[in-house]
């Protein structure tokens, strides 16, 4: 991977650590409702579908599709890689299970809606930022 860009990191808490630090073990992790199987993101104390509180951390495959994206050209902070791709991806395991992320490891101009991607992680201090790269890369 190219030189790591500047990133504002998240404040890691007991509630979100599974998401922001799962990459230490190479895993993309979400809370999942044990009785009904619903993945919940962002993390919450209960399942929005059945309102149950039996949520456990589970890893997903990390396979996803790009729902939409934007190529950021504006130098909000100095960086060597403008434009870079910001995207919203949907995780294969559940329709609507999605997150904002960056698409890396390919030319920004090649990013497109429907692009198949897989999770990779960029380590910054205690955080492993979940990013996505083309499935075959």
Partner 1 sequence: MERMERRAALTGAGQSEVGRRLGRDPLELTLDACLAAIEDAGLTTRDIDGLSTYPGAMGGNPGFSGAGVTEVHDALRLELEWFSGGMERSGQLGAVVDACLAVACGLARHVLCFRSVWEGSAQGKGSRAGIGLSGGGGGGSFRASGPPMEWTLPFRAYSAVNWIGMFAQRHFHEYGTTREQLAGIALNARRNAALNPAAIYREPLSLDDYMSARMISTPLCLYDCDVPCDGATAVIVSHVDAARDLRKPPLRVEAVGTALRGRPSWDQFDDLTTMACRDAARMLWERTDLGPGDVDVAQLYDGFSFIALSWLESLGFCGKGEGGAFVEGGGRIARDGEIPLNTHGGQLSGGRLHGYGFIHEACVQLWGEAGARQVAGDPEVAVAGAGGGPLAGCLLLTRL
Stretch that binds partner 1, among 29-37, 54-62, 79-87 (CB under 8 A): 79-87
User: What residues are paired with 132 via a beta bridge?
Assistant: 103, 119
Which residue in the set 14, 73, 107, 136 belongs to the binding site for partner 1 (CB under 8 A)? 73
Query: Which residues lie below 8 Å from residue 83, measured CB to CB, with a gap of 6+?
Result: 71, 72, 73, 108
Binders of partner 1 among 33-52, rule CB under 8 A? Answer: 42
Give yes or no for residue 1 binding partner 1 (CB under 8 A): no
69-72: long-range contacts (C-beta < 8 A, 24 or more apart)? 69/103, 69/111, 69/112, 69/113, 71/108, 71/109, 71/111
Stretch of 21-29, 30-38, 55-63, 81-89 contacting partner 1, by CB under 8 A: 81-89
Task: Using CB under 8 A, pick the residue from 84, 92, 105, 116 that binds partner 1.
Answer: 84
Q: Which residues, at least 6 apart from 112, have a Cβ–Cβ distance to it below 8 Å?
A: 66, 69
User: Binding residues for partner 1, per CB under 8 A?
Assistant: 3-12, 16, 42, 67-79, 83-84, 86-88, 96, 98-102, 113, 124-125, 127, 129, 131
């Amino acid at each position: 991977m190219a030189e790591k860009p500047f990133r504002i990191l998240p404040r890691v808490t007991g509630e979100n650590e599974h998401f922001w630090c799962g990459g230490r073990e190479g895993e993309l992790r979400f809370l999942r409702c044990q009785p009904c199987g619903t993945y919940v993101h962002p993390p919450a104390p209960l399942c929005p579908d059945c309102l149950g509180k039996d949520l456990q951390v589970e890893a997903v495959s990390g396979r996803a599709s790009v729902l939409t994206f934007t190529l950021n050209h504006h130098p909000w902070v100095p960086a060597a890689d403008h434009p870079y791709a910001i995207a919203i991806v949907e995780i294969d395991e559940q329709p609507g299970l999605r997150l904002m992320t960056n698409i890396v490891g390919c030319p920004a101009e090649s990013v497109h809606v429907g692009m198949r991607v897989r999770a990779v992680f960029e380590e910054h201090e205690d955080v492993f930022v979940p990013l996505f790269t083309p499935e075959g890369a």
